[in-house]
A = this chain, B = another copy of it.
Amino acid sequence: MSRPTVNDLAKAAGVSLATIDRVLNSRPGVREQTIRRVNAAIEQIGYVRDVTAANLARQRRYRFAFVMPEAPGEFVTLLKAAVTEAAASPIVDRTELTVATVPPNDPHFLVKTLRRLGAQDVDGIAIFAPETPHVRDEIAHLKENGVAVVALVSDLPNTGRDHFVGVDNVAAGRTAGVLMGRFLGENQGSVLVLASSMQARANAERRLGFDQVMSDQFPTIQVLPSLEGHDDPDTIRRVVSAVLDNREDIAGVYSVGTGNGVLVDLLKEHSRGQGLVVIAHELTRNTRRALEDGTLDAVINQNVGHIARSALRVLRAKTDGIDILSAQEHIRIDIVIRENLY
């Protein structure tokens, strides 16, 4: 009563295993008539190939590398954990993973790392890094050598990367904008925006989406120019306090990038930090806690587990030259408030 195997199929079609295999893998050297006979038998007995057994026999091994910033932020840490966890799961059987971390904002080091990985002939690389000319060149070089390349979290649109695994950051910014506008409601005023230099492209896109929505749908709310925190706790603290101290009309805070730990602490201490609508990105220990205690009203998140698994699937498909199911590889924008935090 178990699933039919190639043996059953061979018997049913009256041919040998080798011929079955040739037909199954559409290899040359089989008469048209024989092919039809085998296909008929496949229908007949309802054969479906055991992919894992095939992979085992084929001895196919995938060697992938993930390159990620050695960043202070919790998000990167979470992503890294998700990658190693995904790699351990049986979904990604027969693949070896290298996770390389590079200092942020050091294009030279990044390129050197990519080159090194390319030399170790990996089959594919997932890169979480900003786009620079050097990186572009190195990616082109990798692709010439047949290495699959996917961009992670922040896109590298002008590099010829095979795929981007991450959310549409403009849409993420729009989502933040709608929530900000609707949560503020009649409570008009200004919105303070805290920027961050990390992953410049992603953050710029979010800001763009946020501004689109605010000016289109909530024109009476004034969105202030970004405060640049430069991911430095002291700077963030200083610039944000200054605005809160001096402007009575601040009603909301939008944190585009990293640095939410400091921001949350500051808001909790500051006399004006209580009634504000505060929205940030990425669910981490800090933002989670802030949602729980009400400092944060919403978090726009991208699921690191999904990102890791999707990257692995896409890399595999690309190195096999197979099409990806783009529906499955779409990374959704999660909205998290206290009630659906878990």
Contacts and interface: CB of A to CB of B under 8 A. Distances in A.
B52 A175 contact: no
Interface in A327-342: 330, 332-340, 342
A90 interface: yes
Contact of A342 (B90, B187, B330): B330
A342 B337 contact: no
A175 B339 contact: yes
Contacts of A300: 340
A80 interface: no
Interface in A287-342: 300, 330, 332-340, 342
A337 B335 contact: yes
Given A91-B91, A96-B3, A339 B178 contact: yes
A219 interface: no
Contacts of A175: 337, 339-340
Interface in A32-66: 50-53, 55-56, 61
Contacts of A56: 50, 52-53, 56
Contacts of A213: 339
A228 to B, nearest CB: 26
Interface string A177-190: 11100110111000
Nearest to A91: B91
A104 to B, nearest CB: 28
Contacts of A186: 185-187
Nearest to A342: B330
Contact of A337 (B55, B94, B172, B178): B178
Nearest to A176: B339
Nearest to A59: B2
23 contacts: A3-B61, A3-B96, A50-B93, A50-B94, A51-B93, A52-B52, A52-B55, A52-B90, A90-B91, A174-B339, A175-B340, A178-B339, A179-B337, A182-B182, A182-B185, A185-B186, A186-B187, A213-B339, A330-B342, A333-B340, A334-B335, A334-B340, A335-B337
Interface of A: 2-3, 50-53, 55-56, 61, 90-91, 93-94, 96, 171-172, 174-175, 177-179, 182-183, 185-187, 213, 300, 330, 332-340, 342
The 8 closest A-B pairs by CB, nearest first: A185-B185, A333-B340, A335-B335, A186-B186, A175-B339, A52-B52, A174-B339, A175-B340
